[in-house]
Structure 1
Amino acid sequence: MDQRSLQHSHPSDSRRQFLKTAGSAVVGSFFAPAILGAEDKAGVKNPVLGEGAFQYEATHGWGEVPKHIQWGETHGVCVDEAGLIYIKHRSHSKTPMDAIVVFDPAGKFVRSFGKEYHGGGHGIDVRKEGSEEFLYLSDTKHGIVAKTNLKGDVVWTIGRPATPEHYKNAKNRYSPTNIAFAPDGGFYVGDGYGSHYIHKYTKDGKFEFSWGGSGTEPGKMKTPHGMWLDQRDGTPKIAVCDRANHRLQYFTLDGKHLGFVNTVSFPADIDIQGETMVVSDLHARVTLFDKENKVITHLGYNQDWTNRVLDGFKIRKQPQTWEAGRFIHPHDACFDHDGNLFVTEWVSVGRVSKLKKLS
């Protein structure tokens, strides 16, 4: 997460107006999800988020973080075929620290790696190619995307594409935030904190084409932060978190604009399981959408709490003020194989929450 991007998009006056508008629109159409009582094994009640067939027991601060790791901003999460959970964080420690930490489904530490990504830990995704799984890592500080195996051994690393129309000189920033996989085995890279373009690559990491750029009109973006391949209706398309424009934007596989989804606030990333899409929203909520992209529920949503979170962004550095069942700045969320959700947040001390599916 780039704090300058967040603050630049919401000066104090426009932020208050946006909150008033967004809050009335959401509350007018959807009830805030109930937070019910549930007991964990220690007898301590965990909050339950959601409604109907989408209820989750929330465990905040999930995962037994080892002593050699001090969470920075927990930016990314993915789950491999064996059910291991990979967390990518950005530490501000002066001493290089592993940027990727791996846990088993019970939250036990398995391994860590990736000191070379220290300070730039951002997007992380996993894909099976043939009989082997690989991680795709986006590094905002060093301006690279790396493909590694599940132990962190590098297959290849790519930097800024040699496209003078997008990067006229060395001063033009290239800062990739996340990737999406293509049906042909290739992938897309979102230059979310740089040019606001999306770049398409082959499965071997060879550049193919780009689209986008900064703007508000269809096809243009302001911080294409996260994205995903959406095939729920049978037609593959790319869903992009056009974050600073407060919308999701849909494109064909070759980058032609298709449409918008506006029932988001400040979307950060996407994951899809079956017919359900989850969007981590930096404005203090996690939203589930159905196949037609209608809101199922806003997990953890409360407009008064959101107003507090966005009031100068102080709460992200004040864990003593955090409330159970509420989010601060969800930066990524993904499903595991059982339909549970793991949520990582852009907060100074890092936080991972497990949302156990109850219904």
Structure 2
Amino acid sequence: MKPTALLFLVPALAFAHPDHGKEPGKDLEEAVRTGNGAFMYEAIPHWGELPDGKKIGPTHGGVIIDEKSGFIYVSTDAAHGILVYQPDGKLVKSIAPECQGFHAMAVREERGKTVIYGAQLGGPKALRVCKLDTDGKELLEISKATAGDVEGGWNGLTAVAVAPDGSIFCSMGYGAQFIHKFDEKGKHLKSFGGKGTGDGKTTCSHGMAIDTRYGAPRLLVCDRESRRLVHFDLEGNWIGVHATNLRRPCTLSILGDVCAVAELEARVTILDKNGAPVAFLGDNPNKAQWAGFGIPLDQMKTGIFTAPHGLSFDKAGNLYVQDWNASGRVTKLKKL
């Protein structure tokens, strides 16, 4: 598979910035449009803000959608753990404080019930993969103790994905770059990948998802510091490069034939099935804010990102995007 260049869409960047008849973010009571072509969205002001001026808390994690209930689950590095929202942005509850520090999450239905998988980088039970029900009850744990002596060591855990057969994949994107495969009960099956820039290697296997757009399921991996997405089959064999020239891709969400990519350098990009960009969302013209964890909320504009880290489509095509931010920030992009 050949890498896909982004250069031919450079002119489209002119249409990527939010534009709702006013300067983005100035009127916080009105939605701000962003996107281009068939992928236009409105950023909803004040979505997900907590009551009484409380802060969400540091966001260095992920977003998943429970399609059965419609609830949105947002992981945080704060003591309350995972926040659960209604689609309108109202907080329903918080769950699993012991799962503070979920760096990424995956969701699937098992035996008629929604379950959540988290890759826990920090917090009170750091460096484990944890499976939860939607109330936060722990159902499975994979840790250094249970994983055994895996290749490259058990450190720097950044991502988790679950295949249709229940196989669990987790990535050591802040460590030795190996991806480990486990069966549905947590037994280690194999390891693959490793650090590098060539075929089958990554320089930061930061996020990943199961990609079912090509027949047999594949693993689509964000190779963040190589600024690309790459495919492996579910046995760990290299397939090829899917997209290049991205702005440090952190995670992704697939809906139909398109894939949304959270790019740490202040943008969300939507790619088609061939890896070509079809829309840019919330592109930040202020490079001083790119990948900025400490940007104060009052310096962030509605519809403009600073450091997208986690995101998810819902079934209607709306996007929920989490910025990497010290105070905590989540944006709802409503599909038009």
Pairwise TM-score range, normalised by the shorter structure: 0.7 to 0.9
| Aligned partner letter, 2:139 | V
Deviations 1:139-189 (A, max 9, x none): 10210011111001111111122125422xxxxx51321111213221211
| Preserved contact between residue 300 and residue 327 of structure 1 (Cα < 8 Å) | yes
Identity of paired residues, percent?
A: 34
Which segments of 5 or more consecutive residues in structure 1 lack a partner in the other structure? 1-23, 92-96, 168-172
Q: Which residue of 1 aligns with 2:75?
A: 88
Q: Which residue of 2 aligns with 1:148?
A: 132
CA spacing shift, 1:70–1:275, aligned 2, 3 Å: closer
| Preserved contact between residue 31 and residue 42 of structure 2 (Cα < 8 Å) | yes
| Aligned partner letter, 2:308 | P
| Aligned partner letter, 1:355 | L
Q: Which residue of 1 aligns with 2:44?
A: 59
Distance 2:175 2:28 in 1: 47
CA spacing shift, 1:297–1:240, aligned 2, 3 Å: same
Distance 1:314 1:287 in 2: 18
- Is 1:72 equivalent to 2:58 in the alignment? yes
TM-score by length of 2: 0.88
Distance 2:63 2:296 in 1: 23
- Is 1:128 equivalent to 2:102 in the alignment? no
- Is 1:328 equivalent to 2:306 in the alignment? yes
1:46 to 4, 15, 31: 31
Deviation for aligned residue 1:233: 2.4
| Preserved contact between residue 61 and residue 352 of structure 1 (Cα < 8 Å) | no
Q: Which residue of 1 aligns with 2:297?
A: 319
Deviation for aligned residue 1:131: 1.0
Q: Which residue of 1 aligns with 2:198?
A: 217
Deviation for aligned residue 1:25: 4.1
Q: Which residue of 2 aligns with 1:174?
A: 155
TM-score by length of 1: 0.83
Deviation for aligned residue 1:70: 4.2
- Is 1:157 equivalent to 2:138 in the alignment? no
Deviations 1:230-286 (A, max 9, x none): 111223211100111111111111111111121312000011011111110001000
CA spacing shift, 1:319–1:220, aligned 2, 3 Å: same
1:256 to 199, 220, 237: 237
CA spacing shift, 1:315–1:197, aligned 2, 3 Å: closer
Q: Within 5 A, what are the aligned runs for 1:106-121?
A: 106-118=88-100, 120-121=101-102
Deviation for aligned residue 1:342: 0.3
| Aligned partner letter, 1:321 | Q
Q: CA RMSD in A?
A: 2.3
Distance 2:65 2:156 in 1: 24
Q: Within 5 A, what are the aligned runs for 1:25-40?
A: 25=7, 28=10, 30-32=12-14, 33-37=16-20
CA spacing shift, 1:189–1:227, aligned 2, 3 Å: same
In the alignment of these two chains, the number of paired residues is 319
- Is 1:242 equivalent to 2:223 in the alignment? yes
Distance 2:75 2:62 in 1: 5
| Aligned partner letter, 1:125 | A
Q: Which residue of 2 aligns with 1:309?
A: 289
| Preserved contact between residue 151 and residue 178 of structure 2 (Cα < 8 Å) | no
Q: Within 5 A, what are the aligned runs for 1:197-216?
A: 197-216=178-197
| Aligned partner letter, 1:339 | G
Deviations 1:323-358 (A, max 9, x none): 332100000111112111000010111100000000
Deviation for aligned residue 1:217: 1.3
